[in-house]
């Protein structure tokens, strides 16, 4: 401070990011403390209500309170336990996406079966993807277990992030639809009704899924629906970005072959390409609402559009805007008024067609805009018991032979995602780094230097080049900060 004035120093992007991370960490910590306290109070009140309803004597009530307190203590102890990869045995790969994979695992001390979602840090470094990780973790922690896949643990190591989630042996809706040509209206009613309740449950928590598609509708052991993948793996990436398609308007449509196919050929072609699209980095825009692509903003109604596309696929055999390329699909989605067509050779009821059209329309007139009751009251859902839908038998029974049955999942080859990375000569390079810092302290002035060590094979030639680079650094006259980065 000189002459009553304050000198302000610009904050670097790195510092801003660290401040943001610290802020989010503190917010999450205290938010979780409050939520855990509220949950404990709620469980205590539920216990008292049950005991009052049963008319238990005071001695029995004291015993139950003691048992409840013991369980709460054990629960807190488990929450404080730090888990790692060594606590789980990997059994089989059951899913794969652009940023990692899902494995069936067994916890070694209890024998419990889980689904372990593994995400490579190197592939998730984009800020957008990190935000999506936080979104998924938040919703999995806060969500009602009846409609959302439950998360039990999360941890990380140098290479990967790990989410330990409940294993749903029924597979996903994409696999079910690929096994069947179409679903009946009764079967479609069951799955769409449950998905309506699932989507509404996350909307009530203030979340927008934005990536509702058959891949993300999982089936439990009884065949009931649960939502998954809140912004990870194949969802909120290139397929959601208008920039990905910005040059397409200059290219003529190339979808003539697909347009001339009948419904049966379209369904066959769609199923043939569907699996590859599901596991690609780009994904597919088939289920994405047009307003998501636009820069004018969107709200939770975009999820109802996606549900309309899924309903169409269940009844017709393929989604309404499917094409040979994602680019052509995008073009069709953006021109939905001309491209949303019901093939005459696949008859469906008028009430089914009407609901699809009410889902796939302009956002401001879309069904659900005035609340979920507007959707529930549609004629297509006549006879649905909305209060007890999870208690009724599933429309298509799921056959499960054991707790680790994966027969409803695709087969995937093993990968090296769990193998330790190649850290050749890392200790030696750390020594070099310390020497650099020492030399630079002798030089005295500085800017920022990034040392890149290419360690694919660790040859003597590369080490020789490295020595030369070190000597060159010593001669630099503007230096105070060194960043060290190993690429391997």
The residues annotated as belonging to the active site are 211
φ/ψ of residue 473, rounded to 5: -60, -40
The verdict on whether residue 117 carries a ligand-binding annotation is: yes
Buried b (16+ CB within 10 A) or exposed e, 68-97: beeeeeeeeeeeeeeeeeebbeebebbbbb
Query: Which residues touch 300 (CB under 8 Å, ≥6 apart)?
Result: 203, 208
Tokens encoding 254: 């190339």
Query: Which residues touch 15 (CB under 8 Å, ≥6 apart)?
Result: none
Task: Output the CA torsion sign for 188, 191, 193, 198.
Answer: negative
User: CA dist 428 to 152, 435, 438, 443, 449, Å?
Assistant: 39, 11, 16, 23, 19
Q: Strand 88-97 relative to strand 100-107: parallel, antiparallel, unpaired?
A: antiparallel
User: CA dist 121 to 157, 158, 293, 437, Å?
Assistant: 9, 8, 27, 28
Quick check: helix, strand or coil at residue 424?
coil
User: CA dist 362 to 1, 290, 302, 333, 477, Å?
Assistant: 58, 9, 10, 12, 62
- Report the alpha-carbon distance of residue 154 to residue 300 in Å, rounded: 27
Quick check: helix, strand or coil at residue 101?
strand
φ/ψ of residue 347, rounded to 5: -70, 135
- Report the alpha-carbon distance of residue 259 to residue 90 in Å, rounded: 45
Query: Which residues touch 164 (CB under 8 Å, ≥6 apart)?
Result: 83, 88, 105, 114, 115, 116, 151, 152, 153, 154, 155
Buried b (16+ CB within 10 A) or exposed e, 398-431: bebeeeebbebbbebeeeebbeeeeeebeeebee
Tokens encoding 167: 């294993």
User: CA dist 59 to 51, 53, 55, 66, Å?
Assistant: 11, 16, 12, 11
Least Cα distance to 173 among 224, 208, 219, 130 occurs for 219
User: Annotated binding site for ATP: which residue ranges?
Assistant: 117
Binding-site annotation, residues: 117
């Amino acid at each position: 401070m000189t002459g009553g004035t304050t000198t302000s120093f610009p904050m670097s992007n790195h510092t801003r990011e660290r401040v943001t991370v610290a802020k989010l960490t503190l917010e999450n910590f205290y938010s979780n403390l409050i939520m855990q306290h509220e949950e404990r109070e709620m469980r205590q009140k539920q216990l008292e209500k049950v005991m009052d309803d049963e008319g238990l004597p005071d001695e029995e009530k004291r015993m139950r309170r003691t048992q409840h307190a013991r369980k709460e203590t054990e629960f807190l102890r488990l929450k404080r336990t730090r888990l790692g990869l060594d606590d789980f045995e990997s059994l089989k790969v059951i899913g794969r996406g652009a940023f990692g994979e899902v494995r069936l695992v067994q916890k070694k001390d209890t024998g419990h079966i889980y689904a372990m979602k593994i995400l490579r840090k190197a592939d998730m470094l984009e800020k957008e993807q990190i935000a999506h990780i936080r979104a998924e973790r938040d919703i999995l922690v806060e969500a009602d277990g009846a409609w959302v896949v439950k998360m039990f643990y999360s941890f990380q190591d140098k290479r990967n992030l790990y989410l330990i989630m409940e294993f749903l042996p029924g597979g996903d809706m994409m696999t079910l639809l690929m096994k069947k040509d179409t679903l009946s209206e009764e079967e479609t009613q069951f799955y769409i009704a449950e998905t309506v309740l699932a989507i509404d449950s996350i909307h009530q928590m203030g979340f927008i899924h934005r990536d509702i598609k058959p891949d993300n509708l999982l089936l439990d052991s009884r065949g009931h629906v649960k939502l998954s993948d809140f912004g990870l793996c194949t969802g909120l990436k290139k397929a959601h970005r208008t920039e990905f398609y910005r040059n397409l308007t200059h290219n003529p449509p190339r979808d003539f072959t697909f347009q001339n196919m009948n419904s049966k050929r379209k369904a066959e072609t769609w199923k043939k390409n569907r699996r590859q699209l599901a596991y690609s980095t780009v994904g597919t825009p088939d289920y994405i609402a047009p307003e998501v692509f636009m820069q004018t903003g969107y709200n939770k109604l975009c999820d109802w559009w996606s549900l309309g596309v899924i309903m169409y696929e269940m009844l017709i055999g393929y989604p309404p805007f499917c094409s040979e390329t994602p680019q052509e699909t995008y073009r069709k989605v953006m021109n939905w008024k001309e491209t949303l067509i019901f093939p005459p050779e696949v008859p469906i009821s008028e009430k089914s067609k009407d609901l699809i059209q009410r889902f796939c329309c302009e956002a401001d007139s879309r069904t659900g805009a005035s609340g979920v009751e507007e959707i529930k009251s549609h004629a297509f859902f006549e006879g649905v018991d909305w209060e007890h839908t999870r208690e009724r038998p599933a429309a298509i029974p799921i056959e499960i032979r054991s707790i680790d049955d994966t027969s409803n999942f695709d087969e995937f080859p093993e990968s090296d995602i769990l193998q330790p990375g190649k850290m050749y000569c890392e200790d030696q390079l750390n020594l070099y780094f310390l020497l650099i810092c020492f030399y630079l302290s002798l030089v005295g002035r500085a800017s920022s230097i990034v040392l890149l060590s290419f360690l694919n094979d660790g040859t003597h030639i590369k080490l020789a080049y490295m020595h030369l680079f070190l000597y060159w650094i010593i001669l630099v006259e503007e230096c105070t900060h060194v960043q060290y980065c190993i690429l391997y």
